[in-house]
Structure 1
Amino acid sequence: MPISPDQATEIAELRANTQPTLRATVPGMEAHLYTAHEVLDHGFIRVIDYMGDDSAICQAARVSYGRGTKSVQNDEGLIRYLMRHWHSTPFEMCEIKLHVKLPVFVARQWIRHRTANVNEYSARYSILDREFYIPAPEDLAAQSVVNNQGRGEALSGEEADRVLRYLKDDSTRAYDHYEEMISQDDQQGLARELARMNLPANIYTQWYWKVDLHNLFHFLRLRADSHAQYEIRVYADAICEVVKDWVPAAYGAFEDYRLGGAQLSGKALDCVRRMLAGEKVTQETSGMSKGEWREFEHLF
């Protein structure tokens, strides 16, 4: 179960306690507040707080004191201009704070994005729950033969069964020993900060993650990409659904120019010009390496 009964009660109480405000609010985000969106087998994301909306981005870009006389169409055009030309500071005027429950090995990838404020559940003071990420059978895959950090074909048959059994058995055994080490029944009990070292990387942790929209878009551009690892991509996908309801104009521009767009090198752009002129261009005549050419071909 992704959320505990205590967390469900807390969410219900927070959603029931509404407060009047003069600040900008977004109906779509108000609906998301505190609601847990399930990810993987035991994980979730939920919005704790947010600041700003599409108009806040435009206000910052225009450095005005109000909405002014600009129409929604003007605002959307401005946002698309800002996104198209890689302007960043207006998007930094919006912020979001998320509560995320995720496997430790996913958290170690996630924390590489160092442009957020993070406060993680501490296993020095508290006892971690007996919850582990166990992949669905269809998500067990062999090492890719063309990408050192990717997956290849799915495992099947006896090999897949054996891997799942190892993951479940090893996780259970490690947690049993963790509980035994910290127990104070007829022994002193090992300090929690030491006992945690024996826990596997697929155990779940939790954190609060606060980030501005510019840096969130950077995170999503990398982690919602089809080449990202599945276990972090599903979190990015869930966040994308939230951001759509928060800043629809900004997300639309992001989806068009970043998620659905491509950045070309000078050599690649020259190849496109030559192709449009009717020339047959090959990897040998492109000036690009085999890896660059392979990526270039995948764009079309």
Structure 2
Amino acid sequence: MDVELVQQAGTDAMVCRAARVSTLGKEFPEINDMKDRGLINFLMRDRHGSPFEHGIFTFRISAPIFVVREFMRHRAGMSYNEESGRYKELEPVFYVPSDKRPLVQVGKAGAYDFKMGTFGQWWTAEESMRTAYVTSWDMYQRMLAEGIAREVARSVLPVGTFSNFYVSCNPRSLMHLLSLRTKSHDATYKSFPQVEMQMVADQIEAEFKRLMPVTHEMFTKHGRVTP
């Protein structure tokens, strides 16, 4: 999984400016680190969410199609553009899980966990995927060589094929994504994301923490609940 921060215009200071307009009007608030920390703590604790909407993060993400589809279930405050198999020939890049990825589901839907598989299960998974990828790519190339339209030929490619997309969101929407797509002992409401989706979300969170450290700190402090 590859996550690249393309542009960013969200800061802790902007959160505070947006919040203080209700009492200061057009007056420009002075920066005060201690007061700003206290304000962001108050906003997060009491779930005053709108000040966290004044900013933008844009990421370019490369991930398997099944991760892209899961990511795009997040719609509020999110904007997307994805590469199109109708207009360009796709690349032969496919996802194969490492031997550290848990393979066996234990329990039932809504109350299940995963455990590591045996070497034989991992071998079967890897061999099956590689065989399917090679076969489907050969069929894809065969159809393209016969002049069949890309939008038709792409139908044989599996969801393990990598795709590239851009996503833009404000900090509030980003926190909502992280609350659902990461697994943390700090969370008030536990989430159980798919491993591959969390691999993407963890990289996004690292950028969020670096660029809005106080907001991230208070997000974590108050149980990773979106304000």
Q: What TM-score, normalized to structure 2?
A: 0.89
Deviation at 1:162, TM superposition (A): 1.5
- Identify the residue that residue 283 of structure 1 maps to in structure 2: none
Is 2:221 aligned against 1:256? Answer: yes
Structure with higher Rg: it is 1
Offset, 1:244: 1.0
- Cα distance in 2 for residues equivalent to 1:98 and 1:149: 32
1:150–1:229: 8 Å Cα contact kept in structure 2?
Answer: no
Match runs of 1:220-239 below 5 Å? 220-226=178-184, 227-239=192-204
Partner residue, 2:40: 79
Deviation at 1:69, TM superposition (A): 3.4
1:201 to 127, 149, 159: 159
Q: Secondary structure at the match of 2:100?
A: helix
| 8 Å Cα contact 1:45/1:235 also seen in 2 | yes
Q: Which residue identity is paired with 1:169?
A: T
The secondary structure found in structure 1 opposite 2:67 is helix
State whether residues 93 and 161 of structure 2, in contact with CA within 8 Å, keep that contact through their aligned partners in structure 1: yes
* CA displacement at 1:160 relative to structure 2: 2.2
User: For the residues of structure 1 that align with 2:106 and 2:48, how far apart are their CA atoms?
Assistant: 37
Q: Greater relative contact order (Cα 8 A, min sep 6): structure 1 or 2?
A: 2
The letter for the 1-side match of 2:152 is L
Deviations 1:222-251 (A, max 9, x none): 101252111011111111111111111101
Which amino acid is the alignment partner of residue 162 of structure 1?
Answer: T
1:111-157 per-position Cα deviation (integer Å, ceiling 9, x unaligned): 00012000000110001110001000221411222445854221113
Aligned runs of 1:158-169 on 2, under 5 Å? 158-169=120-131
Which AA in structure 2 matches 1:248? Answer: P
Please list every run of at least 4 consecutive aligned residues from structure 1 whose deviation after the TM superposition is greater than 3 angstroms. Answer: 64-67, 146-151
Q: Show CA shifts across 1:158-204 (max 9, x none).
A: 23211210011101111111111111xxx3x2110111111000100
Alignment of 1:65-104 (within 5 A): 65=26, 67-104=28-65
- 1:139 match: secondary structure: coil
Q: Aligned residues: percent identity?
A: 29
1:246 to 211, 222, 225: 211
Q: Name the CA distance, whole Å, in 1 between partners of 2:115 and 2:11.
A: 42
**Deviation per CA, 1:63-119, whole angstroms, max 9, x where unpaired?**
154652351110111111111111111000011111111110001111000120000
User: CA, structure 1 residues 152+224, in 2 after alignment: closer, same or farther (shift >3 Å)?
Assistant: closer
The answer on 1:106 being equivalent to 2:64 is: no
Gaps of 5+ in 2: 185-191
Tell me the C-alpha RMSD between the 2 structures.
1.7
- C-alpha separation in 1, matches of 2:27 and 2:174: 25
**Paired residues of 1:59 and 1:66 also in contact (CA < 8 A):** no
Cα contact 1:141–1:151 (8 A) shared by 2? no
Contact 2:102 2:114 in 1 (8 A): no
Look up the match of 2:172.
Answer: 214
- The 1:130/1:66 distance shift into structure 2, 3 A limit, reads farther
CA contact (8 A) 1:140 1:160 kept: no
1:172 paired residue number: 134
Distance 1:62 1:225, change over 3 A: same
Q: Do the aligned partners of 2:53 and 2:170 also contact (CA within 8 Å) in 1?
A: yes
Distance across 1 between alignment mates of 2:28 and 2:37: 13
Q: How many residues align?
A: 214
Is the 8 Å Cα contact of residues 86 and 150 (structure 2) preserved in structure 1?
yes
- Give 1:128's aligned residue: 90
